[in-house]
Amino acid sequence: METIQKLWHSIPVISPHYYTVALLFLAPIPFGLISKFIKNRTARVWYIIIISFICQWVCFQEYMLHGTFAILMTYIFMKIIPFPQAHYINLIFQFAYVLYGHAWRMYNYYLVYSTDWTIIQMLLVVRLTQISWYKNLSYQPIESIKPRHRNYILKDDISLFDLFAYCYHLPGMLIGPNVDYPTFLKFLDLSMFPNKQIPKTVNTKAFYTRLIELFIIYMFGVTDPLDFKYMITPEFMEHSFFYRWGYLMVAHYTNMSKYLFMFVAGELACVGCGISYYINEKGEEKFCKYRNIRMMKILTARGLRMFASNWNLGIVQWITSVVNDIVPRSWPELARHALTYIVNAFWHGFYPGYLLFFFCCGIPYEFCSKGFLKIINTYINKKSKLYYVYQVLGFFFSLILMQFCHMAFNVCSFYFFYLKLKMNKKTYLIS
């Protein structure tokens, strides 16, 4: 009996910070599996709305009504204001609402990353501005629309309950705008499936793979991530450079796991409910249409650019389509990319560490590295003897830069860097 108790207590326990996250990100998996057995379209709509409403109410109580209000405002804008003004007003309103949520969070919790209603608002602003953009495309000449965006054109009027179901669909909400509204409508009436029958999803490779990934992420990262704040202590500075660098690397990956946990949970829920189903060009059934991260490319990223292009794909898609779509084409590339980073920074929140990451690391690194690589590539190519040495050194320094950026992202303040400058020892910032 004593042995059993020891084993039980040795099982990693999820921290209190993640109880709300667990309900929001894990509940969609079983609820999505249950929705497969509901065939009536109206019943499916109400099932999605009621289940999501209950989950959000349990997590945030009356604060979840902020999201309800945001959805209603989008519906009103699209009904009473002509396009394209309706889309622009909706984009400004929804983004301002998210900024209000971040200000509320900073006022109540300061530099603590709180799991509150602002998270839902961050996810909703993506979906609500995306759907007004779909409608706005129908008012534009077809030749002015990029070919990859033409499938999103929304000509029919939007039903209020369909809009609520789309925004409240928890599996789709977790991976941003990847699940587009036209596909979601086909998911509601089952027209996207052969003979309107959802295939078995639990016994697929896509489901098993994400289930295993979720378990590994939980066991090795979410339960007990290394603390970045330990690195500002004098004890930490007594260790060798390689110890400090190794500790920082482990802290980087274990703290990143909380985001991986959320993304993989969303992908698993989408596979389970069937919305990720598609038939590829070879006529094969696949169940992984919607992805928010490319796991292996994230873990083996050789630089910040490769990391960013494979991370949070839904937000990348939202910014490069909805946000960049309103930027005049006469703007230079530098200005368009800078706007992308600015919007991305404030979408994440007002934490000083976030702004440090996007403004001081993201923007300069992207454009400096682009110019630097143009020069280097003229002298060092695959035929050069220095090519592999350059690749190894580039990977090493890129990894250090990513760790430094992630440090700012997790500490959330400038205080850490202030203490580093006060250190009397001559060392690199990455220590």
User: Which tens digit of pLDDT belongs to each residue from 38-73?
Assistant: 888 899 899 989 988 888 887 778 888 998 999 999
pLDDT at 425 over 80: no
The pLDDT-based confidence of 258 (bands split at 50, 70, 90) is: confident
Q: Give exposure, 282-293, as e/b (b: 16+ Cβ within 10 Å).
A: eeeeebbbbbbb
pLDDT at residue number 69: 93
pLDDT of amino acid 311? 79
Domain final residue pick, 162, 189, 216: 189
The answer on 182 and 47 residing in a single domain is yes
User: Same domain for 310 and 179?
Assistant: no
- Is residue 110 a part of any domain in this protein? yes
Q: Which residue has the higher pLDDT, 9 or 140?
A: 140
Residue 18 belongs to a domain: no
Residue 289 belongs to a domain: no
The answer to whether 230 touches 431, Cβ cutoff 8 Å, is: no
Stretch 417-428: mean pLDDT: 46
Residue among 390, 342, 396 nearest 366 (CA): 342
Tell whether 167 is covered by a domain.
yes
Residues 237-253, mean pLDDT to the nearest whole number: 77
pLDDT score at 421: 45
255 within a domain of the structure (yes/no): no
Residue 261 within any structural domain of the chain: no
The whole-number pLDDT of residue 331 equals: 76
Question: So what's the pLDDT on residue 90?
Answer: 92
**Domain-terminating residue out of 123, 158, 189:** 189
20 belongs to a structural domain? no
Residue 93: which pLDDT band, with cuts at 50, 70 and 90?
Answer: very high
How many domains are there within the chain? 2
Percent of the chain clearing pLDDT 90 (strictly above) = 6
**Is residue 205 scored above 60 in pLDDT?**
yes
> In this structure, are 322 and 184 located in the same domain?
no
Distance from C-alpha of 87 to C-alpha of 8, rounded to nearest angstrom: 53
Radius of gyration of the chain (CA): 23
Residue 94 pLDDT: 92
Range of the domain at 76: 40-189
Quote the mean pLDDT of the chain: 76
Q: Is the pLDDT of residue 429 over 60?
A: no
Residue ending a domain, choose from 136, 167, 189: 189
Closest CA to 253 of 308, 305, 303, 300: 300
Residues 184 and 320 in one domain: no
The pLDDT of residue 36 is 81
Residues 184 and 315 both lie in one domain: no
- The amino acid sitting at 402 is M
- Of 76-85, 287-296, 312-321, 362-371, the range with the highest mean pLDDT is 76-85
H or E element: which one contains 374?
Answer: helix 363-379
Cβ–Cβ contacts within 10 Å for residue 36, how many?
A: 18
Q: For 89-105, give one letter per residue: b (16+ CB within 10 A) or e.
A: bbbebbbebbbebbebb
With tokens 């039903």, the residue in question is 159
**Which residues make Cβ contacts (< 8 Å) with residue 82, sequence separation at least 6?**
none
Range 121-147 average pLDDT: 85
DSSP string across 135-150: HHHTTS-GGGS-GGGG
Residue 250 within any structural domain of the chain: no
pTM of the model: 0.79
Question: Mean pLDDT, to the nearest integer, of 231-258?
Answer: 76
Lowest mean pLDDT among 162-171, 222-231, 317-326, 373-382: 222-231
3-class DSSP state of 191: coil
pLDDT, tens digit (0-9, with 9 covering 90-100), for 100-120: 998 888 888 766 666 778 888
Q: pLDDT class for 368, splitting at 50, 70, 90? A: low
Contact predicate 281/375, CB 8 Å: no
